[in-house]
Amino acid sequence: MAQLDIENLSKRYGDFQAVREVSLQVADGEFLVLLGPSGCGKTTTLRMVAGFIEPTAGHVKLGGRDVTLLPPWRRNAGMVFQSYALFPHLTVAQNVAFGLEMRKVARAEIAKRVDDALALVRLAGHGGRLPRQLSGGQQQRVALARALAIHPDVLLLDEPLSNLDAKLRQEVRVEIRELQQKLGLTAVMVTHDQEEALTMADRLVVMSEGAVRQVGTQRDLYERPANRFVADFVGRSTFFEGMVEAPGRFRTDGGLTLACVGGTPGRGALALRPERVGIASTAGSGLDNNLRGTVEFVSYLGALIDIHVRLSPSDRLIVHVANRDGAFVPEVGQPVHVGWPAAAAQVFNE
Ligand code: ATP
């Protein structure tokens, strides 16, 4: 495995800038996940690393070697596609051998590597089958085995789990992550699924409109989002729109005055995570913000209960209550009190 360096990588289609000067370093053995909404440029970035798309500008370096201009089969990157991209008329073993034949590996060595790769993905003994004789999850594992058989410097995964059903997806996530850690693989995965990203990554890259918005660990992105986009995209937040009147004081467009920490006077938004808000039938004390409201919506999510509270004609707050014995779960229409410490909210100036 090797370190991957992406330097000022850009892709332009006519007037449209699909990827804007993306620079990322992926350490040897690290699992990096590119996360972002549809169209943000994450797939284009991954495909430029794989060699399927030629960048307009910038460089890709694998183990210190500049591979920007090399075709896919000359850079040692193993790629797994959303669609699996298995050859339907080739057996599992022939599919896994494909990349090795392209690379002119000796026969005996190919046979050994195919067996090893199939064993790694727990498909030993399935080499003689055709892809259509396997389940979706097994086909995806064949695709993974094919990528691993070339002993890649970097493993590239393009939404590898999105064709699997929800339950299987949760299992395969853990499986891929454990395999990646066991083999010390350097890996880059693209997904738009937050939970998938959070489960699998060492570090995450949040992209929007072709650009990197923040790079960090799960905790960095959740606890210290660098901007409003990240606060909105990673996890849930309530946003109050309004003005920072003075550092520490925010006035919403609905007329609420809220205590916060810092902020530069001017227009902005106050973001608050739903689990940081307390809710009760009686007024709280000792918190920087104590407000009254009326419950408008309650949704039972299992581990969490999602409660929407109207605070003013234009201010609504989401509260998450952990579903445990004795939890206060109000009903729609019920008056309630909500509260949170100033430090629980984050101010984003416009
Ligand atoms: P998704 O999750 O939907 O695949 P993405 O973040 O992976 O989204 P990309 O596939 O990288 O997004 O595409 C980024 C942008 O570039 C999109 O707006 C897309 O329409 C545009 N784009 C991609 N390929 C081309 C192309 N060949 N010609 C023109 N525009 C393209």
Distance in Å, CA 113 to ligand 1 centroid = 35
**Residue 178 host element (H or E):** helix 166-183
Selection from 17, 61, 58 nearest residue 41 by Cα: 17
- What are the residue ranges spanned by the domains of the chain? 4-229, 237-349
* C-beta 42 within 6 A of ligand 1: yes
* C-beta 282 within 6 A of ligand 1: no
237-349: in CATH 2.60.450.10:
no
The whole-number pLDDT of residue 170 equals 87
Summarised one tens digit per residue, pLDDT across range 100-134 is: 998 888 999 999 999 999 999 999 999 999 999 99
* C-beta 39 within 6 A of ligand 1: yes
Contact 56, 64 (CB under 8 A): no
- In this structure, the residue with its CA closest to atom 16 of ligand 1 is 18
- In this structure, the residue with its CA closest to atom 27 of ligand 1 is 13
The whole-number pLDDT of residue 283 equals 87
Residues of the chain with pLDDT under 70: 1
The whole-number pLDDT of residue 78 equals 92
Summarised one tens digit per residue, pLDDT across range 146-183 is: 999 999 999 999 998 888 888 888 888 998 999 999 99
Enter the pTM of the model. 0.89
* C-beta 211 within 6 A of ligand 1: no
CATH homologous superfamily of 4-229: P-loop containing nucleotide triphosphate hydrolases (3.40.50.300)
The whole-number pLDDT of residue 307 equals 97
Distance in Å, CA 138 to ligand 1 centroid = 28
Task: Indicate the top mutation candidate among 11, 13, 205 to test ligand 1's pocket, ranked by most ligand atoms within 8 A of CB.
Answer: 13
Q: Which of 13-21's residues contact partners 24+ apart within 8 Å by CB, and which partners? A: 17/210, 18/44, 18/210, 19/44, 19/45, 19/48, 19/55, 19/210, 20/209, 20/210, 20/211, 21/57, 21/58, 21/211
Distance in Å, CA 205 to ligand 1 centroid = 17
* C-beta 192 within 6 A of ligand 1: yes
The whole-number pLDDT of residue 330 equals 96
Please tell me what DSSP assigns to residue 119.
H
The residue whose two tokens read 């010390």 is 184
Can you tell me the ipTM of this complex?
0.94
* C-beta 75 within 6 A of ligand 1: no
